[in-house]
Structure 1
């Protein structure tokens, strides 16, 4: 932009040290580019360079250019010192006089010590507005407001990082995000330079809103990019509150519905239009946006002044039609897709790892004794640990623990049995309801959960009615009308389930409310459907229609969530997987299964007639059985590698969750019986560790041997522990890209060596160190049928490499080893060389990107002279040189069984390649030697054109 400004100006440099003359020569340039005169007048007045009369003379000028000319006349008439101070103000207040920065650099202006001692005040409207924004957003982000209403928890004290990854268009990991500032970094993770939107996604409760609140706090306290002068935060659900007839200009959306400038809004807005790159927009919760307003018949708008429907503004901001160049962050739940042309980056939130959970525990419970007590209980209950991988559920569990700790005794106990998500939400409901009970040091509240719910039946019904009304309309913000229609008492609004909506001006002066999280609204919706006498079985199952397979009709009363840019998509894309973007409906189904389970009968029998409860339970079970049978029957199957493979979708994960909530062995057995395949593929389903509890609940009924592929999910060590019940039937286990550490590998070792039926173990791209490598080596020792082992992209060094190499040496079954991207170095390479020597079963080996240099490479080459089993050998991205190439050439004169040798991106020159080419004259077995990316020039490579098995480029 600065270059553009420079090109528009006719720069007239100073020919002397006279500042009066400098102003006179560059008069028209200054008149053209000075837009803020009040700031100049204020500073000239403050330093007694202007009198009140001077200020009045300037103020009487009719236009802005006239005011600038009058100021210049007065300044020049007062001499050199005043003229120098005038230039000093222009230089000091860069924000106010951005367009003049190139000119000031060009003339090399440098003020004297006298002038530098003068006070300069910033009364620039843009700077004042930035200060107001920082104050307002700093105040709004100071406390954690997402999950609580009555408590005030400092964000700075309670915020804990989660696993945040940059991903590509296919959601494959590009590596962890180093810091929040990296979100806006133009050098990392950019998928599309023309894209305007950074898309942050993850499951419900995983921390998307908290991340934006943290970012907001960083900006407000000046810890984010200093060039960002504006931060506009919107929640997408607020756009559902506008009527179809509502229209707004962009200026009104930003100022009237966010933060209004105290002075000169037109000037502030003009600056924003000139410098959109100084603005950051965040839009939270696209999946929570619902509107019947159809954008497909509304033209795009590029005019920032034209009043249009707010959804049109949102769509055009995201696409860059409005304020192109501004940074835009958009969040949504997993499954929400936006057009690739809008995307700049994709960022996936994966929740808490075990180390994050420990850090969060320390922040929530500063007392070490309480920390230890809680962590001991979590360690003893992997089911609870799995739920705690989701920050929202972790917060709920910890707040309940905290409540019982303060209200009952010093050593509260978390449930030690199987805990479902329904149990967790029933518990938090009980805790909130008990807040209304009087407590004292002498008398404790001893009401049971059943008594608590029975005493608060009216309150629960009112909350459920409001929640259900909103879900029916796909709305998450409720006005007074909806609250009053439910006969909700004032006390219910103070319990903490509902909170006042922070946005102002959406419904006039009327107060609006929302549940503290969308999952709580889903819970109360399910509760209402169960306990309300008027709800029949058809209405009970209303939200299960979201499970209708593609092509089947969806109930007319359930319009799909309308994405504001849906009109940008091809007509075929608009009819994609109907399960996308509907997690709130799926949570309702899940909570229905939990509330109508046999275990909850005692709780509910006092709230709903027994006959109605039986009728609803019978209807739910029949529908669940039919849906499950239909879904499993229609899953596509592929015959591959001796397996009948079925590719399940995220919908299957939701079904497993519902089955688990029932805690019914009968339902679990039915589901297991319906899996008519012996290879279950669940890759990229965004499964969490808690989902492993549901998966194991079904698979432990599977009586045949099974292959399970869970690559590219979010299981971590807790998920591995939850899979324990089904290890007895698993012959193939693929757990790559799942944040598994040595602790998870230890569990695998302890379980897999009990049954010794494993043939394939995939642990690529996890966080396994030498400790975990030793456990894997012991698995290889004990599981005599193990043929495939994938350990690439972990943290294994030479020590772990030696252990693995020894196990490989002793194995009579292993055929493929993947070690790409570790750090075994030359010592590890020597150990693998010993393993290769005279090995009888190993056919494929990757030691790529392992820091192997001359010594290690020569050892491997020499060992291959005594190997007749290896067919494919990857040594890409190491530090192999011509000496290694010479040793490999000698090997090729002896070894006639190796087919593919990859030496890509090493340090081999034309000399080494010549030796390899010469060796091929006496080798008829090798198919290719790949040497791309080595130290050879194109003209040098021409020498080897006739040898087709040498690939240089």
Structure 2
């Protein structure tokens, strides 16, 4: 293209500015070396009429990439300063396409003129275009929510509600809550291993793991999260089950051929990914659904991205960081699955809906305010339903069922007052979707009964059950078209919503497959088939209960006489060695078996299966259930602590209780309670949720002796506390630390505890209790004269709550131990506790660590201790105590001979204050240690006190 001859004025202006032609000529070899993409430059030069079609053809005709760059530079320089400046502008604007030139462009300080800035720059770089394709792909994939049996499309944006996300440590200890999805990608919080690459999300079935990833995909696609992330690869782990043992492929094929293929220059895209792996985010959903005997930790190491390996080996090496080290990997699995620690960068538990989340979700599902208020009012009156609704999946099913009945019966939305089990909910959902086959009319409503619905759909349910059982036996959750057709399901049956069709990327490209909406639904239909099929033997009926048998053991026990003779089964042929397998799908099958074989379901099922068969199966199930429970409890480790015979139960015990609860038989509950031969039940770290408290209460309210119950480090929340009400009359020890409990739950505790006044130990450490809850706890302390231990650390109690508690402590003659670590009572609260300490007759152990206590509060406590003869352990760690406080504590030590341990770690005491404390020890023979680690004293200064072994500075 011919260029106009510049005027004298223009020539003069150019002479004053740097010559862009000269700049390109001097740095020619640098540009030839680092420009790997000429097409993007040609596209922009052509679009802005700086190049002609002929120019583009000339460049493209060059045989090698360096030759193309040289020819392009020759043509650009021949066309003058403006074209050269525009070329530099394109290099500057398209940072990803010309990433290696960023330092050079910064060094030369290139600043384009206003004319050049007005030119349009199009990004046809392969990396950018692939990023755009990924965003489009994930935006489509995450736009609509995958709902149970949906006919209509529901926008994820309109329905998604956050759940409780908790950061945890290697041993699942709580590290605090995660505020948002952005925190998953935050590299500054919750890091367990800096060298590891995988963020591990764990949670119970139905708690919302897949939905969370879907939401994260949508946020990334819209540019709201992961600013530096240019590649987002989402895999469902079950996809890896499609591959044969002999299949091998390279990493590039896994990403491009089995996920999303770049439209141009895949080699260039892959090269960029290898050079900048930190720009990639991988999500792998459902490790527990990977049917394989492959062990992550023993996978062969693959460090070459071009090496051929089985896809599972590629998966393991991605998670470990051997491949694409620096990329972020998010992995989900159901609770109970663990991954090697060396893989684990961050660990997050998904806890489901808290009461506030449930209210938010209710508002989304029921936009009509009057209807919403009515629903919430009825929910609050039914803690059993609230507990079920803490699991998002079950909540959604419950809400959708009642939406259906609201529309079907002219707005008569009424939640039942009776107790609903999970089996009831799934039966209700099944009825709703079976009724889709009924013709709809504006004039006449569908009023057929549940029995009529199940009888009319008996054939469909039988086929679904056969398919579900076949998959459950083989640990398969995805079914091919041929497998679905073999189950005799018709095309119309697939429209009911029990199964959903999925296009999955497999070894031979996209292939149509089917899956039950959720693993719990597959478990329900498995149980349904085992109950209603008359050919199912007793051994087949109980086959999934073998998951309760510890590895290497066989349960053979005589049955309770109430149920006649029955030998409990030994191990079946079910695989137990699969490291990826989570047993929840078997446990849910057992739970639904118990629910379907309960007497209350006989009225429905007697129309589908002979009554004699139901009775025979129920008798066999009950016998095995009790024998298993008795054998399980007998083999649990026991510890004798004081007056308590303590047993440490495991998550399997929770599942047993769930199954017993599902029967809704008081007789069954009584027999189960009779089998608990301990008076201290420890259920810590069992991942128990609020609904499990219903099952626990169902059994424990039949336990006629007093009992200690430790439920620390679970996920009970306020609904769980409400569900424990039937057994509070038995409980002398209640430990509910780390359970998302708020003031509402504490109020329930207060109302119950003052009825019975037998409480000796109350543990509420690390919850969400404020000053309001502190007033209820103070009332418990006032009313329960036998209360000896109170743990309230790491809550949200300020000086007001502190003063209220301190007054109750002052008036208590029984309290022995108070834990207040990690609140914010400050000096006012400390002064109130000082009043409580003065002449207190019983208090032995007090922790006011990390409470914002400074000089005045510290002095008050020191002076009060001069009048105290009961306290032996006092923690004041991590406050703001200085030498003035140390001086007062030294004066106290000259008088107080009963205090044994004084912890002053991480305060502001200098060598002067330490010297005063050391001098005071010359007159004190009672104190055993004063811990001063982390104060303002260096090792050289500490040497002065080496001879005084009771002073610990380092």
Query: TM-score under structure 1 normalisation?
Result: 0.95
Instruction: Measure the CA separation in 2 of the matches of 1:509 and 1:344.
Output: 33
Are residues 1:344 and 2:345 paired? yes
Give the match for residue 809 of structure 1.
810
- Greater mean deviation of Cα atoms: 898-907 or 248-257: 248-257
**Which residues of structure 2 form unaligned runs of 5+?**
1-15, 555-569
Cα contact 2:863–2:888 (8 A) shared by 1:
yes
Aligned-pair CA distance for 1:390: 0.7
Q: Map 1:160-179; keep pairs closer than 5 Å.
A: 160-179=161-180
Question: What secondary structure, in the 3-state scheme, does the structure 1 residue paired with 2:479 have?
Answer: coil
Tell me the alpha carbon deviations over residues 498-519 of structure 1, each in whole angstroms, 9 at most, x when there is no partner: 1111424467665211111111
Kindly report which structure 2 residues correspond to 1:203-218, keeping only aligned pairs within 5 A, or say none: 203-218=204-219
Q: How far 1:244 moved relative to its partner?
A: 2.5
The 3 A distance-change label for structure 1 pair 299 and 952 is closer
Which aligned pairs between 1:373-392 and structure 2 lie closer than 5 A?
Answer: 373-392=374-393
Show CA shifts across 1:603-635 (max 9, x none).
Answer: 100111222212211211121121111101111
Match of 2:10 in 1: none
- Residue 4 of structure 1 corresponds to none
What is the CA distance between 1:224 and its match in structure 2? 1.2
Q: 2:574 aligns with which of 546, 558, 562?
A: 558
Q: Does 1:447 align with 2:448?
A: yes
Structure 2 partner of 1:135: 136
Shift of 1:557: 3.5
| Aligned CA distance change for structure 1 residues 793 and 748 (closer, same or farther; 3 Å) | same
How far does the alpha carbon of each residue in 1:224-246 deviate from its partner, in whole angstroms, 9 at most, with x for none? 12211010001111111222233
Kindly indicate whether the alpha-carbon contact (under 8 Å) linking 2:931 and 2:953 is maintained by their aligned counterparts in 1.
yes
SS at match of 1:344: strand
**Do the aligned partners of residues 521 and 507 (structure 1) sit closer, same or farther apart at CA in structure 2, a change above 3 Å counting?**
farther
Confirm or deny: 8 A CA contact 1:146 1:209 kept in the other structure.
Answer: no
CA distance in 2 between counterparts of 1:312 and 1:854 reads: 60
Moved more, 901-910 or 711-720: 901-910
Distance 2:21 2:73 in 1: 9
Q: Which aligned pairs between 1:757-768 and structure 2 lie closer than 5 A?
A: 757-768=758-769
- Partners in 1 of 2:302 and 2:933 — Cα distance? 49
How much does 1:19 deviate? Answer: 1.9
Q: Distance in 2 between matches of 1:507 and 1:476?
A: 20
* Residue aligning to 1:572: none
Structure 2 contact 258–505 (Cα < 8 Å) conserved: yes
- 1:946 positional shift: 2.0
Task: Flag the 1:508–1:181 CA change in 2: closer, same or farther, 3 A.
Answer: closer
**1:631-780 → structure 2 map (5 Å cutoff):** 631-780=632-781
Partner of 1:411: 412
Q: Check if 1:918 corresponds to 2:919.
A: yes
Is contact 1:146–1:210 with CA below 8 Å preserved after alignment?
A: no
Q: What's the offset of the Cα at 1:881? A: 1.5
The question of whether the paired residues in 2 share the 8 Å contact of 1:561 and 1:581 is answered with no
Cα deviation code 1:902-953 (max 9, x no counterpart): 1111122222222211111111111111111112222222222222211122
Is the CA contact (8 Å cut-off) linking 1:234 and 1:282 kept in structure 2? yes
Shift of 1:745: 0.7
1:292–1:867 CA distance, 2 compared to 1 (3 A): closer
Tell me the SS of whatever aligns to 1:501.
strand
Residue in 2 that maps onto 1:818 = 819
**Structure 1 stretch displaced more, 411-420 or 306-315:** 306-315
Greater shift in the superposed pair: 547-556 or 772-781: 547-556
Q: Is the 8 A contact 2:34 2:101 kept in 1?
A: yes
How far apart, CA to CA, are the structure 2 residues paired with 1:509 and 1:598? 47
Give the distance between the partners of 1:298 and 1:505, measured in 2 at CA.
22
Q: Do 2:296 and 2:339's aligned partners in 1 also have CA atoms closer than 8 Å? A: no
Q: Which residue of 2 aligns with 1:487?
A: 488
Give the structure-2-normalised TM-score: 0.95
Query: 1:448 offset after TM fit, Å?
Result: 1.2
1:30 aligns with 2:31: yes
* 1:223 positional shift: 0.7
Deviation of residue 16 (structure 1)? 8.8
Matches of 2:327 and 2:749 in 1, distance apart? Answer: 48
Tell me, in whole angstroms, the C-alpha distance in 2 between the residues paired with 1:286 and 1:370.
40
* Partner secondary structure for residue 110 of structure 2: coil
- In the alignment, the residues of structure 2 paired with residue 293 and residue 785 of structure 1 have an alpha-carbon distance, to the nearest angstrom, of 55
Deviations 1:761-787 (A, max 9, x none): 000011111111111111111111110
Tell me, what secondary structure is at the counterpart of 1:932? coil
8 Å Cα contact 2:503-2:511 kept in structure 1? no
* Partner Cα distance (1:295, 1:402) in 2: 44
What's the offset of the Cα at 1:556? Answer: 6.1
Distance 2:880 2:194 in 1: 33
Deviations 1:35-79 (A, max 9, x none): 111001111111122111111111111111211111112112222
| Cα shift readout 1:466-485 (whole Å, capped 9, x = no counterpart) | 11111111111111111111
Partner of 1:470: 471
Bigger drift between 648-657 and 918-927 goes to 918-927
Q: Give 1:248 deviation, angstroms.
A: 2.6
- Is residue 736–residue 765 contact of structure 2 (8 Å, CA) maintained in 1? yes
Give distance in 2, aligned partners of 1:598 and 1:615.
Answer: 12
Give the deviation of 1:146 after TM superposition.
5.0
User: Deviation per CA, 1:339-375, whole angstroms, max 9, x where unpaired?
Assistant: 0011111011111110111111111111111111111
**Pairwise CA distance, 1:672:** 1.1
What is the aligned residue count?
A: 925
Structure 1 position 550, deviation (Å)? 2.4
Measure, in 1, the Cα distance between the counterparts of 2:944 and 2:636. Answer: 54
Which residue is 2:935 aligned to? 934
Matched, 1:311 2:312: yes
User: Which residue pairs with 1:575 in the alignment?
Assistant: none
CA distance in 2, matches of 1:671, 1:631: 12
SS at match of 2:704: coil
Matched position secondary structure for 2:330: strand
Matches within 5 A, 1:84-163: 84-163=85-164
Matched-pair contact (CA < 8 Å) for 2:149–2:496? no
C-alpha distance in 2 between matches for 1:94 and 1:630: 66
2:850–2:877 Cα contact (<8 Å) kept: yes
Q: CA deviation at 1:307?
A: 3.5
Please, which moves more after superposition, 702-711 or 928-937?
928-937
| Contact 2:202/2:350 (<8 A) preserved | yes
Distance, in Å, in 2 between the alignment partners of 1:666 and 1:831 is 52
The Cα offsets for residues 540-577 of structure 1, whole Å up to 9 and x where unpaired, read as 1111111111223785642247447xxxxxxxxxxxxx
